[in-house]
Structure 1
Amino acid sequence: MREWFKKGEHWIWMSSAMVALSVVLVFGLFSMITYKGLVHFWPHEVYEYQLQNGKEIESVVGELRDSKMKEVSAGEGQAPQEVPQLLIKVGNRDLYGIDFRWLSSDELVSDEPKIAQDAVVIERYEYGNVYGWYQSLKVAGDTFSGSDVQAALAKQVAEGKRLHDEIKSIEKGDIGLINYKIEQLRLEEKRLQAEGDWTDAKAQLMKDERAALDEQFREYQAQTQELYQLQKTLGELTMSVSGGQTLNVPVKNIVEYWQPNEMSFADKLGFFFHGIKRFLTEDPREANTEGGIFPAMIGTITMVLIMTILVTPMGVIAAVYMREYAKDGPVLRMVRISINNLAGVPSIVFGIFGLGFFVYILGGSIDELFYGYALPSPTFGTPGLLWASLTMALLTLPVVIVSTEEGLSRIPRALREGGLALGATKIEVISKIVLPMALPAIMTGLILAVARAAGEVAPLMLVGVVKLAPELPVDAIAPFVHLDRKFMHLGFHIYDVGFQSPNVEASQPLVYATSLLLVLIIVGLNLGAISIRNRLREKYKALDN
């Protein structure tokens, strides 16, 4: 054993064990997030629980979402006992005021819950889910009951979805474009007046343009009003719920409906993938506790891509200067120490710097120089996509600089001297020989930068991220990428849903689902960068020989 320790083999075994443990923990965490995130989209069975409420029997209908053990007192002089507690999603928030309810097993009449036969789950745009049974459907004076309800309801819900999508398209697309053009006309008018270039001809021209836009606005508004009136004719569904109560659900408020206890495995699988699709393509609802995360996903990807475009030239230029041009000395050593220390600065400090320098100083100066006519309403002097991307670029800059400089140091000196001996200038040697061979190291720095920037939350809260953004930072309106707009971010969405939500139980599955999506986006961006890096390594593999 003494000889074994002298050889240092115990360090090898300890290192291997720690690496194996880290891999197990990472995959275990990812597996937990994956399971709890994806199970949210699977149609859960609906049970009916019987509770002993005094002399009466109370019926509770809903989905079993969680369970835990709770200690309860067993009486004087006796040790407390652990009793199972069940978390049931009962829905019907407009009736009960809550979505979830904890049930104690000692209150149940029977330990085995009963499957609620023919129970229907209805997802609404407001007030959460409805759990109950079909009673009747009233449509334009006609009443459907019994087996006719489901066929008539399917037709009405499909029409309701079509009307909802058409209204959303007009309001966010056509009317949104008109509002944008009207705002641009207002700003252009203020600019011309501020510059003293305002004439009667231009005033008349803008008046005509505004009149045309107002006319289009009234036309689209009339179309939406007509569609809203059509929504009211879709009918009303009457449901019987637990406790003998009835609940009227307007068809226009129905998003989806299903009968999980009657679905086959193939039906559940199709519903599962349909739920994932809706989660990725829809906007959030009900204080972000329901609906999708499409705006947050677009905002995260856009911010990371812009950050990558900004940090790459800054990091590469700084590394090239320090490695190829700067003379070694105390100043350069101090700069390198500062860069290494910058990597350890808390991220919130970068957020404060971004708010103070980028937003208030730089953005305010831009507004005064180029957008003075729009003041006091700020254009760039307010948090937005550009400042968030720049702040993240500064946050990840040390990683890119260190990685690039490390790659440059590995380039043999003979290659530089050979290029100079052939008559190339120093800049040609760097751009044609040195930088291409250092690209794998640059890509390594970008991989680390992307992984860090996509997961940061604290600095983004100060420089552009909001709970709910009315407009996407990327759309079909020129210039297509709007750097001055606020945006949503998956990391902040997780924080907001998990810690600021008024309905914690309802938001918990969305936290795991959003976390899984954020991890997958980071992995996808990293895999793309890794594949590019591997191709570059193959191209310049002579460097390693």
Structure 2
Amino acid sequence: MKAWLKSGSPWIWLNGGAVAMCMIMVVGLIGLIAVRGFGHFWPANIAQIEITNEQGEQIVVMGEIVRSQTIPSAVARDAGNEVPEDIDMVTRYLVKQGNRDQTGRDFVWYLELGMGEFTYPLDAYQIERREWGNFYGQPVALLREGEIVSTPQQSGFWRDMQAALDRSLKLHQEIQRLERRQIGRINSGLEQLRLDTRRLDLRDVSGPEREAEDARIAAARAELDAQYEELRVELDALKAAQRRDTLQMVTAEGAQVDLSMAQIVRVTAPNGMSVPAKMGQYMERLWEFMSDNPREANTEGGIFPAIFGTVTMVFIMSIIVTPFGILAAIYLREYAKQGLMTRVIRISVYNLAGVPSIVYGVFGLGFFVYFLGGSLDRLFYEAALPTPTFGTPGLFWASLTLALLTLPIVIVSTEEGLARIPSTIRQGSLALGATKAETLWKVIVPLATPAMMTGLILAIARAAGEVAPLMLVGVVKLAPTLPVDGTFPFVHLERKIMHLGFHIYDVGFQSSNAEAARPLVYATALVLVMLIVVLNLTAISIRNRLRERYRNASD
């Protein structure tokens, strides 16, 4: 036994077991997130339940069975339910009954006491709406301008309803295009004319020059107003056409509700769908989650603006932090005199890596936003004041703050890479007649490139997951426009952005509908993890290519 212990084999097994446990925990965590998050998009069957309440009244509930719990009877009594004293434990079901505009609640707990059997009617519809969440009910008729077009008793009802819905969705896309692009362009033009007038006032321009400028501005404004009037007429016609069709539904309680097709996103009848049909619906919903804009206070719709904002911010951060971090490391290792001051600077860099991220956010808000941004506004955007342009949190300041936060990581990694290069390589280059600068930039730096990429990988991994500093310097709950679009100058660094990390925080802790937000927290968390993995794998691939390239060159 002593010989076996001295051989080191136990430590090998111990390390292998620790690595295996870590891998199991990581895979288990990601699997849990994936099941809890992406399982939300599977079309669940709609149950109809008859319940006898405490007053002996029969009520009918329709919705999705989210989960069940077995709880002590005392807990149920504390919640206001009447439970017989001889019952110790009772099961309750959480039902997503939707119809929030009718009942005021999306999710309701129901005790199994007095609950009849679950039935799954084939004509139970789940209707996703732009507002008020899902609607659950059974169809009555499809109306067009108040007249009945089709009823469920007719064979072509589902086809007619889907055709009306497709038409409404196409009209909605056209309305969005007009509002965001063409009307947005007109609004930008009007704002630019307002700033032109403001600049003339600030410069005290008068006389013929002022008259000519005023005439130009008035003509341009009149042209934009005329274009807007044409678009407004077209927009009103599209909205009227979108409201043409109405789906008449009846709730489980028997109330009749008219739903305009303009407010409907999707209609499904999951109880009658086959497994392949549900799989197709699942992929459609998952794609919508990845590519659409959020709705209903971020509890419905997609997360595309958050994905786009995260990737854009990390990309700009990488462009900023890489040259500064590499140059600082090269100076400290290759040029700075190795004395007390250099050691103090190096220790300070190491300590900066451990500073809480919220401190960087406070610094970014005070120095970057208020000081630098305010100065830029006074120098270049005086006409827009008091409305700030760069003197308010935005994409550029968020990226710059993250660059400052990750700068020590890049410096330390690069410096360690430079230190690992043998001195014989430097001496050989100098002996062949190369200058110190040529040796550095043509020999040493290329060999240290993999270490630089390692620093960048670590910086990306930390920056993509940060939330606290971003809340102060540019990330918001909902950003109506992306920082990159077709309007000059195309990349708008002053705009606020959405971020996956902040989206998780907002949906998980700030949402008024916690049950609806729960699966989206898991789904968004998994998307964030996968995004970080993709970014890191890309950087690792580049690092490996560089390593092989310069290894072959050195051979």
Aligning the two structures, in what range does the TM-score lie when normalised by the shorter sequence?
Answer: over 0.9
Partner of 1:60: 61
Give the Cα–Cα distance (whole angstroms) in 2 for the partners of residues 338 and 311 of structure 1: 18
Partner of 2:138: 133
Query: Residue 464 of structure 1 is aligned with which of 460, 474, 484?
Result: 474
> What is the DSSP-based 3-state SS (H/G/I as helix, E as strand, rest coil) of the residue aligned with 1:103?
strand
One-letter amino acid of the structure 1 residue matched with residue 30 of structure 2? F
Counterparts of 1:166-181 in structure 2, within 5 Å, are 166-181=174-189
Give the Cα–Cα distance (whole angstroms) in 2 for the partners of residues 437 and 116 of structure 1: 69
Give the Cα–Cα distance (whole angstroms) in 1 for the partners of residues 448 and 87 of structure 2: 66
Give the Cα–Cα distance (whole angstroms) in 1 for the partners of residues 113 and 119 of structure 2: 16
Give the Cα–Cα distance (whole angstroms) in 2 for the partners of residues 496 and 226 of structure 1: 37
Say if 2:169 is the partner of 1:161. Answer: yes
Counterparts of 1:347-496 in structure 2, within 5 Å, are 347-496=357-506
Which stretch has the larger CA shift, 516-525 or 425-434? 425-434
> Using a 3 Å threshold, how does the CA distance of structure 1 residues 544 and 33 change in structure 2: closer, same or farther?
farther
Give the Cα–Cα distance (whole angstroms) in 2 for the partners of residues 124 and 167 of structure 1: 17
Give the Cα–Cα distance (whole angstroms) in 1 for the partners of residues 542 and 526 of structure 2: 24
Give the Cα–Cα distance (whole angstroms) in 2 for the partners of residues 416 and 89 of structure 1: 70
Q: How far apart are residue 149 of structure 1 and its match?
A: 3.0
Deviations 1:61-116 (A, max 9, x none): 11111222211149999997333322111011111111111122234234xx2223
> What is the DSSP-based 3-state SS (H/G/I as helix, E as strand, rest coil) of the residue aligned with 1:378?
coil
Give the Cα–Cα distance (whole angstroms) in 1 for the partners of residues 405 and 114 of structure 2: 55
Q: How far apart are residue 13 of structure 1 and its match?
A: 3.1
Partner of 1:322: 332
Q: How far apart are residue 542 of structure 1 and its match?
A: 5.5
Contact 1:411 1:543 (C-alpha < 8 Å) held by counterparts: no
Contact 2:99 2:132 (C-alpha < 8 Å) held by counterparts: yes
Which stretch has the larger CA shift, 139-148 or 66-75? 66-75
Contact 2:313 2:395 (C-alpha < 8 Å) held by counterparts: yes
Give the Cα–Cα distance (whole angstroms) in 2 for the partners of residues 124 and 23 of structure 1: 41
Give the Cα–Cα distance (whole angstroms) in 2 for the partners of residues 413 and 538 of structure 1: 21
> How does the TM-score come out when normalised to structure 2?
0.93
Give the Cα–Cα distance (whole angstroms) in 2 for the partners of residues 231 and 77 of structure 1: 53
Contact 1:437 1:543 (C-alpha < 8 Å) held by counterparts: no
One-letter amino acid of the structure 1 residue matched with residue 183 of structure 2? I
Partner of 1:245: 255
Aligned-residue Cα RMSD (Å) equals: 2.1
Give the Cα–Cα distance (whole angstroms) in 2 for the partners of residues 462 and 11 of structure 1: 47
Counterparts of 1:75-90 in structure 2, within 5 Å, are 81-90=88-97
Partner of 1:183: 191
Give the Cα–Cα distance (whole angstroms) in 1 for the partners of residues 541 and 108 of structure 2: 49
Which stretch has the larger CA shift, 407-416 or 186-195? 186-195
Partner of 1:117: 122
Q: How far apart are residue 543 of structure 1 and its match?
A: 9.1
Query: Residue 109 of structure 2 is aligned with which of 79, 102, 109?
Result: 102
Give the Cα–Cα distance (whole angstroms) in 2 for the partners of residues 160 and 168 of structure 1: 12
> How does the TM-score come out when normalised to structure 1?
0.95
Give the Cα–Cα distance (whole angstroms) in 2 for the partners of residues 449 and 295 of structure 1: 22
> What is the DSSP-based 3-state SS (H/G/I as helix, E as strand, rest coil) of the residue aligned with 2:127?
strand
Q: How far apart are residue 372 of structure 1 and its match?
A: 2.2
Say if 2:224 is the partner of 1:216. Answer: no
> Using a 3 Å threshold, how does the CA distance of structure 1 residues 417 and 206 change in structure 2: closer, same or farther?
farther
> Using a 3 Å threshold, how does the CA distance of structure 1 residues 9 and 77 change in structure 2: closer, same or farther?
farther
Q: How far apart are residue 356 of structure 1 and its match?
A: 0.6
Contact 2:122 2:269 (C-alpha < 8 Å) held by counterparts: no
> What is the DSSP-based 3-state SS (H/G/I as helix, E as strand, rest coil) of the residue aligned with 1:400?
helix
Q: How far apart are residue 52 of structure 1 and its match?
A: 2.1
Give the Cα–Cα distance (whole angstroms) in 1 for the partners of residues 338 and 40 of structure 2: 58
Query: Residue 203 of structure 1 is aligned with which of 203, 206, 214?
Result: 214
Q: How far apart are residue 14 of structure 1 and its match?
A: 3.0
Where does structure 1 lack aligned partners over 5 or more consecutive residues? none
Q: How far apart are residue 232 of structure 1 and its match?
A: 2.3
Where does structure 2 lack aligned partners over 5 or more consecutive residues? 78-82
Which stretch has the larger CA shift, 8-17 or 491-500? 8-17
One-letter amino acid of the structure 2 residue matched with residue 331 of structure 1? M
> Using a 3 Å threshold, how does the CA distance of structure 1 residues 116 and 375 change in structure 2: closer, same or farther?
same
Deviations 1:320-362 (A, max 9, x none): 0011111212211111111111111111100000001101111
Aligned length: 542
Partner of 1:296: 306
Give the Cα–Cα distance (whole angstroms) in 1 for the partners of residues 10 and 337 of structure 2: 43
> Using a 3 Å threshold, how does the CA distance of structure 1 residues 435 and 202 change in structure 2: closer, same or farther?
same
Give the Cα–Cα distance (whole angstroms) in 1 for the partners of residues 340 and 67 of structure 2: 61
Query: Residue 271 of structure 1 is aligned with which of 281, 304, 308?
Result: 281
Give the Cα–Cα distance (whole angstroms) in 2 for the partners of residues 193 and 230 of structure 1: 45
Percent of aligned positions with the same letter in both sequences? 51
Q: How far apart are residue 47 of structure 1 and its match?
A: 1.1
Deviations 1:263-308 (A, max 9, x none): 1111111111111111122111111111111111111111010000
> What is the DSSP-based 3-state SS (H/G/I as helix, E as strand, rest coil) of the residue aligned with 1:244?
coil
